[in-house]
Amino acid sequence: MINAKEVHFAVVRGVSGNYDQCIKPKGNNGRIDIQLTREQHRRYCQTLQQLGLTLLQVDADDRLPDCCFVEDTTIVAGETAIITRMQAPSRVLETAAVKKLLASYKTTREITSPGFIDGGDVLRINNKLYIGLSERTNQHAVAQVKALVADNGYEVIPVEIKGTLHLKTVCTYLGDGCVIMAPGHFDHNIFSGYRKVIVSGEEAYSANCLAVNGKVVVPGGYPRTRECIEKEGFATVEVDISEFRKGNGGLTCLSIIF
């Protein structure tokens, strides 16, 4: 079983007409094809629906090139949705529309200054929240998250990371006590109680997978990683997200699942 309980909803946000102006990885000047990006996003959303999720859609905003990476706006912990405060100046307005939508489903709380945090740094495994300390997430925000979830039975575990944008860029949960990770970015002993799939250096990007209701969604083009996941007993579904990789995004970045 992939999750302790099934998930039912996925918040997704459309692709900005200015997505080609998003925050790109350092040294990556690859041309972004917005039409192809939107087609890949459509297929991603279709996959989530096929896996049993109801989509909650937020319109794209052309003022916000990175707005499709909706995961960074929110941390869901039980019945609480913690609205983040993003460090990147071009992204601070992304949270408003998502907060408005989630207010109909969850009790919303907010991270305040001097805290800043991206949802991509928060790996939820059952009642544990592993939070990566990165250029986008600081200790002040971790302390606020800890206080906000204290009454909900969640444990918050800070994780020092290096050489990566977010914790979930290099580590995600497949379910059934198994994590997938790219080596060299954090102390692996933090996950000593879990089974591990270690991806090869050339397939490091594929460490960002998305577990949904008994299946693991994997990025297209990483056959060895997919084979390793299937050897652990997980059924996989492949989705091509090459244009989102050019914008520093992965599979989990494109939805908030609960």
Active site residue 166: yes
Token pair 């998003």: residue = 22
Peptide bond into 183 cis (omega under 30): no
Closest CA to 175 of 121, 246, 123, 104: 123
Burial class (CB in 10 A: 0-12, 13-18, 19+), 196: middle
Active site residue 253: yes
Separation CA 58–CA 136 (nearest Å): 23
Which residues lie closer than 8 Å to 38 by C-beta, 6 or more apart?
14, 15
Among the options 22, 45, 166, 185, which is catalytic? 166
Among the options 22, 45, 67, 253, which is catalytic? 253
Catalytic annotation, residues: 166, 253
